[in-house]
Amino acid sequence: MNTTSEMPSGPSVAPTSVRVDGARLWRSLMDLAQLGATPRGGVRRLALTDIDRQARDLVVGWLRETDAEIEVDAAGNIFATRHGRSDAAAVVLTGSHIDTQPSGGKFDGNYGVLAGLEVLRTLKDADIVTENPVGVAIWTNEEGSRFVPVMGGSGAFAGVFTLEHLLRQRDGDGITFGEALERIGYAGTAPVGKRRLDAYFEAHIEQGPVLEREDKVIGVVTGALGLRWYDCIWSGQDAHAGPTPMEARRDALRGASRMVEAVHALAVRHAPDGRGTVGFMHVGPNSRNVIPGLVKMTCDIRMTRISLPWTASSATPLRLSPMTFALNAPCNRSTTSQRRVSTLAASTRFAPRPEHLATRIARWSAAPAMTRSMLHAWRPLR
């Protein structure tokens, strides 16, 4: 991107003298954080809810004030574009997301969007005309908390999955992505993807503790971990906690608990880049004096490259061959040299392979009878 001071309408501004207004950026971050604010200083702003609509309206209003042109695509992604000297030139795009996790923070995603807004504000204030158009994107449902898949809007944009696939995904209440998008008034008409981008940049707060621990102000992302999500359902037998002898139990939570440990251990074995998380669990009937007959849980597994086989061995108390099988897929690492969002998005996701599900279950059948009968379903998501 080149800046220029030669436009007849603008004053002469040396690019080096242009600085963003940090105080203004901070105020905008704090204002946006009011929408969905939680008691301990965080934000709960799930995708395509009323709070998300309010936040979109607020930020879009700010973007319009910079004279940016607003477009919304059919996935609800918002694009604010400030014209350049040549509108035929491809857009230099930045941005992020403003949806959050249920216990999210003020900055994750929001900073990337508002940093882009601050760039547009600064360019306008200095009356700078750039060579290429400069844009800010707000991607829909990046967090994947309400709807799976995660990074939904950008994934559809990048062609990792189709718009139709995205729109028919349902939240926990059975509401589809498409219905929720219509309801908040952000089902746009612009085509998804097919935008000419010169480059895409994203500023993001570090979601982990490493920079702060090492007392560093800023870092550059050198890669993204490959990600797989699983839904896992254990079915055992509800029974009374008192009369049922220990050897007669089919305790679904006991099986699930072993998998929690196994997921953790698997990630640790692939240190330093392995990650394994069980973040959701529903225990049924969830009564203190009833043996759990049903557990639904999720597994979030992230790796750079996995060169198992981790075959079930007799030393493993609970054989987890379905997980092993699932992890045999290589995970590619994306690098900063890949500037375009499509490349980045595509390299950090995996298409689900439903045809392999039968193989997973077949492998599972080699597990001990008790656990085999309890693992009811093992469904790969993303």
Q: Which residues of 317-350 are buried (b: 16+ CB within 10 A; e: fewer)?
A: ebbbbbbbbbbebebbebeeeeeebbebbbbbbb
**108 near Zn ion, judged by CB under 5 A:** yes
Cβ closer to Zn ion: 109 or 293?
109
**109 near Zn ion, judged by CB under 5 A:** yes
**202 near Zn ion, judged by CB under 5 A:** no
Locate tokens 């689900």: which residue?
A: 352
Q: How many residues does the chain have?
A: 382
Smallest distance from Zn ion to CB 57, Å:
20
Distance CA 75, CA 188 (A): 7
State which residue has the least CB distance to Zn ion: 109
**99 near Zn ion, judged by CB under 5 A:** no
Site map (CB under 5 A) of Zn ion, residues 55-94, x = contact: ----------------------------------------
Cβ closer to Zn ion: 207 or 307?
207
DSSP class of 68: P
Pairing, β 275-277 against β 226-235? unpaired
Q: Retrieve residue 77's tokens.
A: 């992604």
Smallest distance from Zn ion to CB 142, Å:
6
Cβ closer to Zn ion: 108 or 300?
108
Contact between 325 and 356 under an 8 Å Cβ cutoff? The reply is: yes
Which has the closest alpha carbon to 375: 364, 316, 366, 285?
364
Segment contacting Zn ion by CB under 5 A, of 25-33, 101-109, 162-170, 249-257:
101-109
Segment contacting Zn ion by CB under 5 A, of 51-59, 102-110, 224-232, 347-355:
102-110
**198 near Zn ion, judged by CB under 5 A:** no
Contacts (Cβ under 8 Å, ≥6 apart) of 308: 324, 327, 328
Q: Is 175 exposed, middle or buried (0-12, 13-18, 19+ CB in 10 A)?
A: middle
Cβ closer to Zn ion: 76 or 109?
109
Cβ closer to Zn ion: 142 or 198?
142
Locate tokens 């108390």: which residue?
A: 317
Cβ closer to Zn ion: 108 or 251?
108
Smallest distance from Zn ion to CB 6, Å:
38
Smallest distance from Zn ion to CB 119, Å:
18
Residues that bind Zn ion (CB under 5 A): 108-109
